[in-house]
Amino acid sequence: RMSRHAQQLRDHDINPCVAETDASRKCMDDNNYNKNMCTAYFLKYKSCRKFWHDIMMQRKRNGVKPVMPSAEERKKMLESMG
């Protein structure tokens, strides 16, 4: 059974970067844990985290709750940005 923290990391409403996390992990598995082979995946993950962190901080400053938009709301936000 997964810990509560592990479950939250898998929850698309809580973690906006589940796909990037999975892609990084798969790359590491596929490349015998050679980090140099997975730099692009790590950068995608890092920029995903930064992007949503900035959104969260903006929402927090503006008093918007929840600070992390739901998976559905994030999808709409991204679509509206093109």
Residue range 29-48, pLDDT digits in tens:
999 999 999 999 999 999 99
Mean per-residue pLDDT for 66-79?
Answer: 94
Q: pLDDT tens digits, residue range 3-29?
A: 888 887 788 888 999 999 999 999 999
Q: Helix, strand, coil: what percent of the chain each, to 5? A: 70, 0, 30
d(C-alpha 38, C-alpha 59), whole Å: 32
pLDDT of amino acid 8: 78
